[in-house]
Amino acid sequence: MTEKEQPTLIALVDDDESVRESLPDLLSMLGFSTRPFASAEAFLESDATSNTRCLISDVSMPQMSGPQLQYEVNRRWPHLPIIFITGRHDPSLRAALLARGAVECLFKPLSEKELLLALHNAMTTW
């Protein structure tokens, strides 16, 4: 398989183990390769940052939060698209994340349709 034929790598940062297990399965069915991380720090310290095409991150996590991760990603890799997922239905939080450059902020539970649309938008901004 050539580099162009390899699935697009999506990094998933979520402290919830069930999300780190289920979302990669869905993304795989949609043709994406996913590398899950239990924390923002684990993602930042990994070798995945060099070939990640999109970052999907939870908003509320212990230690480094999703917005803190967004700040660090924007500083280091300003063109890496970020999609946030959250169980907190707060339109003002969503607006703030989008204003800081996030592609989308989706509320859990996610629908396949809205996730696909967000990924499409993220890939076209890359």
Give me the percent of the chain exceeding a pLDDT of 70: 93
pLDDT at 126 over 80: no
Give the pLDDT score at 8. Answer: 79
- Which tokens belong to 82? 């970020």
pLDDT at 2 over 60: no
**What is the per-residue pLDDT across 78-95, written as a single tens digit (0 to 9) for each?**
999 999 999 989 999 999
Q: Which domains does the chain have, with CATH numbers?
A: 6-109 (3.40.50.2300)
Measured CA to CA, the distance from residue 70 to residue 80 in angstroms comes to 10
Tell me if the bond preceding 67 is cis, omega within 30° of 0: no
Whole-number Cα distances in Å, 71 to 83, 104, 115, 124: 13, 15, 22, 21
- Which tokens belong to 30? 């949609």
Residues 6+ apart with CB under 8 A from 44: 69, 72
